[in-house]
A and B are shown apart, each in its own frame.
Chain A
């Protein structure tokens, strides 16, 4: 019993010696006497230079393999953070400042030059339904969300320079925390309203030949006359598409910021953050102009979104074709007494 086992072990030992031992001896003979283990070692400086030069195959970050489940942690160094920092702490402030303060300055100057645009033929007393309850509900849902989203968004960009001296760091951090919650939650009714807004108004906002004429004649803003328009003139169509396109860009980028694990790691986060910031301040600037012309800039305009009804003369002057084409005939207020 013993001898066959022993011979088997001996055979195995010979086999192992043959398979492992022989190449090892051969290797030893080939290798030089002194070994420099760093001769081929990976060097940070070389990797960083390859990264900066964009050498193919190096990827976008200095990364490797990890054994923990969080694959984001396999990035060892990502130099792009420095670029994002300089954009966020520099360029972004300039874009925000020029877009928002610039728009406010333009509006003040425009008001000083043009004043409030009056209803030329006076108030007729006849009220015309312009926006239904549902349209107004959607508008104010989007508008209310946007005001809070805009302010809380500006807060994380420039708030720390303006507010802590007024209220102290602790109160500011508490405010910023609530602002973040508001920003994250109100994004959803904003997106819902945006979708409704698109569906209910897109048919009235298809650009046409009439809009070219409206723009050429200064839209009644710069020029003195009232170019014809349907339910929405070229200016309002511009606002509509700015809101739809800007709002969509904000929604998409915001989604990636809320769920950073879908955005493709830290570089995706940096990219979508910049898109979100630029789209945000540009849309804020557009909406400032929208608020201006809807309130102090034009007589009889704000009623369209409050009571939903506008004066017939206002409608005739600003939306002549909308009145002429009979879209408003059936909606003349039954109690209204004609002035004539």
Chain B
């Protein structure tokens, strides 16, 4: 099976935020939650770069390690998903996650954390694929339909790549080779303990 990853080519990202919008729309993400966001580093300075970031679906995911109810699981495609049936909204995955992916709707007592929500790599959750219940809880399941995550699919500059690790790494390497520069695969060292040699 594939090892699904995200790769944001910061030299191509123009901070249009279309991935953010597409994600919110595709999954009907609740108010106050953004499964994906674009962060601009060194804004306004020479060499500023924008990076689109969401859950990186880590190898040895910290969220899964600290979860007190073991609600996380890794799919055959190496996508890190979680069960909202099991999640108790304790907040531990938010403390552990290097990328700030887990977020909580403020629906609990005193406006505290509800059940955690994060990027599903457009592959739903533990419920039946593409069922209404799955859509309501986790959003669309494009992977089960043979499609890749929408954020990457509709990226206007093809900065955001989604797909099998080897395939997107090859695409990125070819780009770097052709244009002669590349600022690297952001977050890969943290998420996968490896980076793309260019």
Contacts and interface: CB of A to CB of B under 8 A. Distances in A.
Interface stretch (A133-141, A166-174, A300-308, A329-337): A166-174
Contacts of B38: 66-67
B177 interface: no
B142 interface: no
A173 B190 contact: no
Contacts of A293: none
A41 B69 CA distance: 42
B90 A180 contact: yes
Interface in B20-41: 20, 32, 34, 37-41
Interface stretch (A3-11, A24-32, A109-117, A256-264): A256-264
Contacts of B145: none
Contact of A72 (B20, B51, B95, B100): B100
A74 B99 CA distance: 10
A41 B187 contact: no
Given A38-B181, A156-B90, A176-B68, A44 B189 contact: yes
20 contacts: A39-B47, A43-B183, A44-B187, A63-B39, A63-B41, A67-B15, A72-B100, A73-B37, A76-B186, A77-B98, A77-B99, A77-B190, A81-B97, A82-B62, A88-B66, A89-B66, A160-B67, A160-B68, A173-B87, A185-B109
Q: Could you tell me the dominant secondary structure of chain A's interface residues? A: helix
Given A37-B181, A269-B95, A42 B49 contact: yes
Contacts of B156: none
B37 A68 contact: yes
B43 A65 contact: yes
A223 interface: no
Contact of B109 (A70, A159, A184): A184
B11 A64 contact: no
B92 A257 contact: no
Interface string A135-170: 000000000000000000001110110001000011
Interface of B: 10-11, 15, 17, 20, 32, 34, 37-43, 46-51, 53, 62, 65-71, 85-92, 94-100, 108-110, 112-113, 180-184, 186-187, 189-190
Nearest to A76: B39
A41 B187 CA distance: 16
A170 B95 contact: no
Nearest to A265: B100
A282 B89 CA distance: 25
A166 B171 CA distance: 49
A64 B112 CA distance: 26
A177 interface: yes
A88 B190 CA distance: 19
A241 interface: no
A266 B40 contact: no
Contacts of A177: 88
Contacts of B15: 67
